[in-house]
Amino acid sequence: MLCLAITNSLATTRHCNFPAIFNFGDSNSDTGGLSAAFGQAGPPHGESYFHHPAGRYCDGRLIIDFLAKNLGVPYLNAYLDAVGSNFSHGANFATAGSTIRPQNTTLHQFGGFSPFSLDVQFNQFNDFQRRSKIFQSKGGVYETLLPKAEYFSQALYTFDIGQNDLAAGYFHNMSIDQVKAYVPDVLAQFKNIIKYIYDHGGRSFWVHNTGPVGCLPYMIELFPSKAHRMDKAGCVASYNEVAQFFNHELKAAVFELRKKLPLAAITYVDVYSLKYSLISQAKKHGFEEPLRACCGHGGKYNYNVHIGCGAKIKVHGKEVLIGKPCKDPSVWVNWDGVHYTQAANKWIFDQIVNGSFSDPPIPLNMACHKQL
């Protein structure tokens, strides 16, 4: 009855006109942030669509790319990318390896994560908003490269982050219970950032929950499941149970935010269910390889932490590519042991765009409207 009421209401409601998107997240939506800061993610990343590396840890496009295209907005440039970027229709603050809660590690150590945690991404956004208004007033080229002042309140604010917060605990040899114990603190920090953006004029929020981390080759390989049970899909059940716990608490946090932020339209999107369905029923959805990495080297899952996608070794003084991609990424779910292929990202987006996996169940182009 609720879905029917919302559907009937939406039938008489105009589509949202989002002139810009501001994205926050990790590698699931990074379009060049980490590459700009620490060096480009080299080939074969980008081969299926861009035909060259494009800052994405994927063979092509990410969910955020399909989202932008659907809304008629150009693909988002990374805020950190100084070369050739145009921010007139938004900016991407996501970087691969980012967490909600700051980590006390360096990027290049084992278990290290991006220094651009969600609080840093917000600080970047804050500075970007403030300086955009100043430089827009100068006119000239700035008018074509920066968003108009009113875009900040009319934009869609997208979030896909949290997966690395869970993985961080496992890298620090924490137990399942210890990881679950710090989830409330992680989400408290997430809620603060949503409130800060709301205070800066943000009104429309599109929040993805976290995916089934227990189905990612790197998690299965790096943390052998001797102490954990595997489910029928071949995933580590305990890791996925923690992800589901995180998502349950995230959804509760979204409900709480709706009460505290009366002018906000906050859509919670269940990408976990879709990703798990894609992996556990790959053939049903047109895919052949659900768990193995398309691009990598060796082992049961074609994943090696020391020989990643695109890795080369020297043989008789010549570089030889051994982290090779598969012949047809379009039938593989996983790209490099950590990230999804373009085909998988496209399939996931096609399921969420109409609101079927959202709370409230409204389509993407209606995400500026509050829940009834």
- Looking at 26, 59, 336, 369, which residue is catalytic? 336
Maximum Cα–Cα distance across the chain: 70
Predicted confidence (pLDDT) at residue 94 exceeds the cutoff of 80: yes
Whether residue 27 lies in the annotated active site: yes
Question: What's residue 225's pLDDT?
Answer: 60
pLDDT per position as a tens digit, 231-260: 999 999 999 999 999 999 999 999 999 999
Mean pLDDT of 109-125: 87
Sign of CA dihedral 344, 348, 349, 351: positive
Q: Binning pLDDT at 50, 70 and 90, where does residue 211 land?
A: very high
Question: What's residue 109's pLDDT?
Answer: 54
Residue 322 CA to residue 163 CA, distance in Å, equals 28
Report the amino acid identity of residue 256.
E
- Give the relative orientation of helices 163-171 and 237-260 as an angle to the nearest 10 degrees: 140
Mean pLDDT of 192-207: 98
- Looking at 26, 27, 29, 228, which residue is catalytic? 27
Predicted confidence (pLDDT) at residue 173 exceeds the cutoff of 80: yes
Predicted confidence (pLDDT) at residue 6 exceeds the cutoff of 90: no
Cβ count near 55 (within 10 Å):
24
Q: Binning pLDDT at 50, 70 and 90, where does residue 55 land?
A: very high
pLDDT per position as a tens digit, 100-113: 999 977 666 555 68
Report the amino acid identity of residue 17.
N
Sign of CA dihedral 251, 198, 206, 122: negative
Question: What's residue 13's pLDDT?
Answer: 75
The larger pLDDT score, comparing residue 109 to residue 66, is at 66
Whether residue 339 lies in the annotated active site: yes
Question: What's residue 372's pLDDT?
Answer: 56
Sign of CA dihedral 191, 248, 99, 80: negative
User: Closest Cα to residue 275, out of 325, 214, 336?
Assistant: 214
- CATH no., domain 21-284+341-366: 3.40.50
- Looking at 45, 228, 339, 369, which residue is catalytic? 339
Mean pLDDT of 208-219: 97
Among 47-51, 280-284, 296-300, where is mean pLDDT lowest? 296-300
Mean pLDDT of 141-152: 96
Predicted confidence (pLDDT) at residue 70 exceeds the cutoff of 60: yes
Stated pTM of the model: 0.95
Contacts of 271 (CB under 8 A, 6+ apart): 63, 160, 208, 209, 211, 348, 352, 357
DSSP state of 243: H
How many Cα atoms occupy the beta-carbon half-sphere of 353 within 13 Å? 15
Q: What is the mean pLDDT of the chain?
A: 94
Question: What's residue 329's pLDDT?
Answer: 98
Q: Which residues pair with 320 in a beta bridge?
A: 313
Question: What's residue 104's pLDDT?
Answer: 78
Three-state DSSP class for 7?
helix
